[in-house]
Amino acid sequence: MKLPSNFYKPLAIGAPAPYRELPVSLERMIHFFPGHNEKVRSRLGEMIPQVDVLLGNLEDAIPADAKDAARQGVIEVGKAHDFGKTGFWVRINPLNSPWVLDDITQLVAEIGDKLDVIMLPKVEGPWDIHYLDQLLAQLEAKHGLKKPLLIHAILETAQGVKNVEEIACASPRMHGMSLGPADLAASRKMKTTRVGGGHPFYRVLEDPKDDGSPRIAAQQDLWHYTFAKMVDACVANDIRPFYGPFGDIQDQEACEQQFRNAFLMGCVGAWSLHPNQVAIAKRVFSPDPDEVLFAKKILNAMPDGTGVAMIDGKMQDDATWKQAKVIVDLAKRVAEKDPDLAKAYGFWPRSGKRRERFGPERHELIESAGVDLAGPFRIDEQRAPDGDEVELTRLQTLDELVSARRPGRLARDGSNQLTREADAAGRHRRPAR
Ligand code: GLV
Ligand code: MG
């Protein structure tokens, strides 16, 4: 048995030390592109800022005679783009395939410094992770990589499901896991021909009625057991669970429902196989603004997270405080990327970011608004409980703020005068009443 004290040591001399905590990132969707398709590759420049994670696919759905072209295509993409905050991942071929060694060695050599995560399909047990872990350490050392590559396992065989807990803690490189319902169905010999989602014949039927009227039957979730098991294994080891693919691209409603179930159950994201699924994942895996505002009320009512509070007639305690914290933390990550949601959540970017986003004139205006802006343009600004975000509890649009500063615009209620005085003093004050 490997000693616990060695768990976080690099597996090769000169390889970067493994992370002790996963880097914080927003991963609502992992958007797949086929590495060998030139037309798709040519549009990725537009796609990158719109998705949280872009993944080059080398495995299933890539024909055997296009495996080399797909790998070269992914390398080309890695070299051509700056990914900014968007994650760049690759799904390699399975460990028992003839292509995987070239996948790993060439990708790490050519674009190892651009890649964040390697997705490994058909993981059966911790031994698969150990193999890749060691090989990556050797290659990282050889190519002088500065940050460790992470591993994301696809849970898509019956044996993998059986070993899911050992897989989740097999290495500090583990980033997370995705449920792969298509291969799992094949591995289990399920009698289906689908990529994820429900099945019309998997139902629970109501008891017979005395009057012989039709019995209600409701479709059940084929994936619930595996899914819950995977989420527990991941979260218990501080790694991230994802729903995988939803293959019926036309059925956006069912895709949304599947994603929503995953979100509620604890998943951080899902795969998108088509641009229309990007929008669905964004919608589903970003918390609902009303939920965020309510969660913020809970955090504000119980600043140290203990005790009990009644909010809108509902009892809150330590456990709901923790749930609220999960939602607010996620909302903050989403807000960093999405200014509209940032507003809806009542978050405002920090000073440096405001300057970048709004330009110097508007930035100066927002800064000068400080605690108060006169009259109808008053803003209550306060620090959120952890102090790293500014919260505006009553938000005016920037255009309203800008017009408030223009002389003569607000003469009727007198606040213009005050605004001008405040301008002269270099700050704004609440009018005396
Ligand atoms: C994904 O790879 C799946 O098999 O569902
Ligand atoms: Mg699969």
What's the CA-to-centroid distance between 302 and ligand 1, angstroms?
43
Residue to mutate, 92, 154, 248, 271, ligand 1, most ligand atoms under 8 Å from C-beta = 154
Three-class SS of residue 184?
Answer: helix
What's the CA-to-centroid distance between 165 and ligand 2, angstroms?
20
Between CA 261 and CA 181 the distance in angstroms is 15
pLDDT at 304: 86
Give the residue whose CA is nearest to atom 2 of ligand 1: 180
Closest ligand (CA of 271): 1
Does the structure show a pLDDT above 80 at 407? no
Dihedral sign for Cα 14, 19, 25, 27, please: positive
Give the residue whose CA is nearest to atom 1 of ligand 1: 180
Ligand 1 atom closest to the CA of 196, numbered from 1: 5
Could you read off the pLDDT of 38-88 as tens digits, one per residue? 999 999 999 999 999 999 999 999 999 999 999 999 999 999 999 999 999
Q: Mean pLDDT, to the nearest integer, of 350-373?
A: 56
pLDDT greater at residue 144 or residue 407 = 144
Q: pTM of the entire structure?
A: 0.81
pLDDT at 183: 97
pLDDT at 2: 79
Band of residue 356 on the pLDDT scale cut at 50, 70, 90: low
Q: Mean pLDDT, to the nearest integer, of 103-117?
A: 98
What's the CA-to-centroid distance between 388 and ligand 2, angstroms?
40
What's the CA-to-centroid distance between 185 and ligand 2, angstroms?
10
Between CA 393 and CA 404 the distance in angstroms is 19
Closest ligand (CA of 273): 1
Band of residue 255 on the pLDDT scale cut at 50, 70, 90: very high
Task: Tell the burial category of 178 from Cβ atoms under 10 Å away from its Cβ (0-12, 13-18, 19+).
Answer: buried
Could you read off the pLDDT of 278-306 as tens digits, one per residue? 999 999 999 999 999 999 999 988 888 88
Cβ < 6 Å from ligand 1: which residues? 60, 121, 154, 156, 180-183, 195, 244-245
* Rounded (5°) CA angle 136-138-139: 65
Q: How far is CA 237 from CA 20, 157, 227, 264, 321, in A?
A: 12, 21, 16, 19, 22
Q: Quick check: 91 and 60 in contact, CB under 8 A?
A: no
Q: Mean pLDDT, to the nearest integer, of 218-226?
A: 94
Between CA 48 and CA 85 the distance in angstroms is 9
Ligand 1 atom closest to the CA of 154, numbered from 1: 2
Mean pLDDT of the chain: 85
Q: In degrees rounded to 5, what are phi and psi of residue 125?
A: -170, 180
% helix, strand, coil for the chain, step of 5: 45, 15, 40
Band of residue 361 on the pLDDT scale cut at 50, 70, 90: low
Ligand 1 atom closest to the CA of 181, numbered from 1: 5
